Chains A and B, each alone.
Chain A
Amino acid sequence: AQKITQTQPGMFVQEKEAVTLDCTYDTSDPSYGLFWYKQPSSGEMIFLIYQGSYDQQNATEGRYSLNFQKARKSANLVISASQLGDSAMYFCAMREVNTDKLIFGTGTRLQVFP
């Protein structure tokens, strides 16, 4: 069974608008971490934001925020005021408490147009 599901293979957004990238996850562990990474066309993986399963508040990092709905097992990334440089693949990932590995979703390709 998929542990991380990203249902949007591609998204378009106009510059300066906000966009939400969806991520749902599946785990039976009560303690886990959720992460978002950005992968530009050059290939590197850039850590964006983290949300812990016990965190009461949604994580925010600059223009990135995470809409964490624990009961729905969703951890959507919200990018506000999109910029052309935000065009990239975005990966949602999860790490359960008793494992070292990050489990990645299939990614969403975001394209920001002027």
Chain B
Amino acid sequence: EPEVTQTPSHQVTQMGQEVILRCVPISNHLYFYWYRQILGQKVEFLVSFYNNEISEKSEIFDDQFSVERPDGSNFTLKIRSTKLEDSAMYFCASSEGRGSNQPQHFGDGTRLSIL
């Protein structure tokens, strides 16, 4: 069964450094998403992406964050000048369509630890 692939599975970074999280969505999916889950808390929406541009973002997704689809398969989340509170599990997801009936399929996540 096709799946969303995320790399790395675990990233440890010094505070203030930049980090890029990578995702390969399911190949026929057109809509891509990033979510994060701080340890022990809810999963929170960060951003959605379609047709090479951001379609929606949350208040968490400020200037520190950016997303890109650098080629036909990868979808990346860049976090600049990381802070301790950026430590979380980051999930990439994709869906075939945009409607409220479209399930979003998640990757296994990248656990980001900021030291």
Which A residues contact B (CB, under 8 angstroms)? 31-33, 35, 37, 42-47, 50, 52-53, 91, 93, 95-97, 99-107
Contact = CB atoms under 8 A, between A and B. Distances in A.
Contact of B31 (A37, A93, A100, A105): A100
Nearest to B35: A102
B108 A43 contact: yes
Interface stretch (B16-24, B66-74, B79-87, B93-101): B93-101
13 contacts: A33-B99, A42-B108, A43-B89, A43-B111, A50-B101, A52-B100, A95-B100, A100-B31, A100-B98, A101-B48, A101-B56, A102-B43, A104-B44
A97 B100 contact: yes
Contact of B58 (A31, A46, A101): A101
A93 B104 CA distance: 11
B109 interface: yes
B47 to A, nearest CB: 9
Interface of B: 31, 33, 35, 41-45, 48, 55-56, 58, 89, 91, 93, 98-109, 111
A105 B42 contact: yes
Given A43-B89, A102-B45, 14 more contacts: A32-B100, A43-B109, A44-B109, A45-B93, A45-B106, A45-B109, A50-B101, A91-B43, A95-B102, A95-B104, A100-B98, A101-B56, A104-B44, A107-B42
Contact of A97 (B33, B99, B108): B99
Given A43-B108, A44-B109, A91-B43, A99 B89 contact: no
B100 A45 contact: no
B106 A37 contact: yes
